[in-house]
Amino acid sequence: MTASVLTPAQNSVITSVSGFQFSTSSLTQAEVLQLKADFPVLAETVNGKSLVYLDNGATTQKPWAVINRLNQFYAHENGTVRRGVYKLAEGATTAFDAVREQVAGFINAKSSTEIVFVRGCTEAINLVATTFGKAHLQAGDEILVTAMEHHANFVPWQQVYLERGCTLKVIPMSDAGELDMQAYAHLLQSGKVKLVGVIHVSNVLGTINPVAEMAKMAHAVGAKILVDGAQSAPHMPIDVQALDCDFFTFSGHKLYGPTGVGVLYGKYEVLETLPPYQFGGDMIDVVSLEKTTFLAPPLRFEAGTPAIAQVIGLGTAIGYLQAIGLERIALYEETLRQQATDALLAIEGLTLYGQAKHKAAVCSFLLEGIHAFDIGTLADLEGIAIRTGHHCAQPLMKRLNVSATARATFGFYNTHEDIDRLVVALHKVIKLCK
């Protein structure tokens, strides 16, 4: 049996991923191939080789369903939202509003009023850092983030703490890439922590952090918690009520949807305490020369014309994922992670960064004596797209004592053969660079 083939028995043995218990089985390789055919880019050739796309952590490819929905909207339905009485505007408003409901269902929010549309995960976190900072942070307060944050969940908090005279503290991690929960408990004991920011799935290490437990601990000392779900929402079922997080953020383009749209979930009672982020049309109640009153959430946070087509396209992407089933996707990607981990560790001179017990399909690595950029460039010659660099996580790179890594990140359309191709390419890289 080659590594590319999983028997049905192997497919169904995995019943738990990151604490979720599933009764469903993984996607079969035949199903994956069928789904892959929905993504036109994946049929492209690069440098004369069929494309193997392994940079899903950066952005994902789009299925025809999403591409066609965007075309359909712009060709036949284009209109503005919330301000027209004519058919096109009403139709666009109905379609736009329906996605807010759909997103609420997708992450199990209590209500669609807890869903704010933003430009992406980065904007979602900036929105929270800025408005939460204004409303709730004062000199002496503490913000906690982890040692493995993406810059998107680090730099905004750094700006806020500098502006407001707070303190920013870092929850340390082990060499395997697991958070030190004892240190976290200790940090919370100061009694000054107001906000915890944590990456749900590390974009470098793949670690799946215990965010439900972290939320419970944060709440016990009166702190709020923001979960950066950029790398989790596309790959596993999300239930914000079960996680009990105060904020959850993700990007459309990493979820097989369009760029330019993302989601900020906030518990309604928390969103209500926050001032507006930006000002202008669509977020106001009454404007006079002297003063302005603002709408309630979520519209309070959506100044100006939103990304209408992108929101509608995001709805299509979510529908596409739901039709497959996020549980099945998580189970299948776990088989990719296992295969990739075993295959990479078998390569002499390869160091794999991130070996947490609970891990998603993210593999960061280096080959002894070879720069990450050379690995990426030579892999591209083989038609393989992987990311190289610091992955917008420079403090983490420092912790790992490297300046850059190569990184393969998987999506449900990746096949076991893709991993075989990566391994062959890496052996070629080693030969060339010796």
User: Cβ 317 to ligand 7TS, closest distance in Å?
Assistant: 14
Q: Are 120 and 253 in contact (CB under 8 A)?
A: yes
Report the nearest approach of ligand 7TS to the CB of residue 257 (Å): 11
Residue (360 or 430) nearer to ligand 7TS, CB = 360
Closer CB to ligand 7TS, residue 199 or residue 430?
199
Residue 66 or 92 with smaller CB distance to ligand 7TS: 66
Question: Which distant-in-sequence residues (6+ apart) come within 8 Å of 271 by Cβ?
Answer: 114, 116, 297, 298, 300, 301
Residue 391 token pair: 């992955």
d(CA 337, CA 245): 27
Report the alpha-carbon distance of residue 318 to residue 253 in Å, rounded. 11
In angstroms, what is the minimal distance from the CB of 161 to ligand 7TS? 19
Nearer to ligand 7TS among residue 396 and residue 419 (C-beta): 396
Instruction: Quote the least distance from Cβ 418 to ligand 7TS, whole Å.
Output: 18
Q: Choose, from 121, 245, 363, 392, the residue flagged as catalytic.
A: 392
Cα-only R_g, the chain:
22
Give the residue with the Cβ less far from ligand 7TS, 339 or 364: 364
Q: Are strands 350-353 and 45-46 parallel, antiparallel or unpaired?
A: unpaired
* Alpha carbon distance 397, 414 (integer Å): 27
Catalytic, 363? Answer no
Give 204 or 419: the residue with its C-beta nearer to ligand 7TS.
204
* Structure tokens, 425: 């390419």
Whether 383 contacts 48, CB under 8 Å: yes
Rounded least distance, CB 304 to ligand 7TS, Å? 18
Residues that bind ligand 7TS (CB under 6 A): 57-58, 120-122, 150, 152-153, 199, 203, 228, 230-231, 251, 387, 391-392
Cα atoms in the 13 Å half-sphere on the side-chain side of 274: 27
Q: How far is the CB of 177 from ligand 7TS (least distance, A)?
A: 14
Residue 339 or 388: the one with the smaller Cβ distance to ligand 7TS is 388
Least gap, CB of 285 to ligand 7TS (angstroms)? 30
Q: Which residues contact 170 (CB under 8 A, 6 or more apart)?
A: 144, 145, 146, 147, 395
Active site residues: 392
